[in-house]
Chains A and B, each alone.
Chain A
């Protein structure tokens, strides 16, 4: 292994290409328009959808997750975020607020995904 080179010009070019591809996709996602609805999924199935345009201020809702975990999600006209969770590592809470269509936050222990969507014509909160 000690005889292996650090990097070759061909490999450097390929890695640069990968880096540019990833950066381009990242910037494209960041340029997405603001969200109009937020969907909460558990085990891959939609659990709740909130039309963000119908809200006048922040609203918090509890969602039961897998393995006895519970998460609290806050919906507001600007977006949505995990406020708290009974999971051990709180990665979902540290994700912070989602603002743009397509943005996603996950709570793996509770198997809950929070996803923002663009304009799809929602006009009410639906279960």
Chain B
């Protein structure tokens, strides 16, 4: 029971962190040469950590939470984009983290590219196939932001693991 409470509280903390990072990057000015609306995906760091260290249900909850907030704040289209990208990239990152020996940076890239691919598919369903124009820019940007995600996660893992061990002490 205690463990369940701690897990729920920790998931809430990660959710708040993911939303705060999403809000933070929405304040950044648009980057030149990139498709409008493209973001650094800082909250993917939280999703990747959750998928690898806390579990798939927690990571999927974060994706749904972010999608819900995008829906409330920016409408149905933004909600659908956020939810599709978040859920698919979380599933891919979880599978790569748990089922393969692939290193962290390529996993970050895999998450970023599947996030972009899912969003592109939703945009294609909502408008027209003209969205393929964005593929090259999203490919370059996805690789770069995915590398960043993997790097930041690798650097943050030691303190995060200490924190996790305090919250979920191993059974004695």
Contacts and interface: CB of A to CB of B under 8 A. Distances in A.
Contacts, number: 124
Contact of A6 (B101, B126, B150, B161): B150
A53 interface: no
B77 A44 contact: no
A19 B137 CA distance: 10
Q: SS class of chain A's interface: helix, strand, loop or mixed?
A: mixed
Interface stretch (B11-19, B59-67, B84-92, B104-112): B104-112
A26 B143 CA distance: 14
B143 to A, nearest CB: 5
A79 interface: no
Interface residues of A, number: 44
A23 to B, nearest CB: 6
B102 interface: yes
B168 interface: no
Interface string B47-82: 001001100000000000000000001111110010
A91 B37 contact: yes
Given A89-B78, A108-B123, A112-B127, A15 B105 contact: yes
Contacts of B136: 22-26, 28-29
15 contacts: A4-B107, A6-B103, A7-B150, A11-B105, A11-B106, A15-B106, A15-B147, A18-B143, A22-B136, A22-B139, A23-B136, A106-B130, A108-B77, A111-B127, A113-B130
Q: Which 9 A-B residue pairs are closest in the complex by CB-CB distance? A: A22-B139, A25-B136, A1-B52, A22-B140, A108-B77, A26-B136, A104-B133, A7-B105, A5-B103
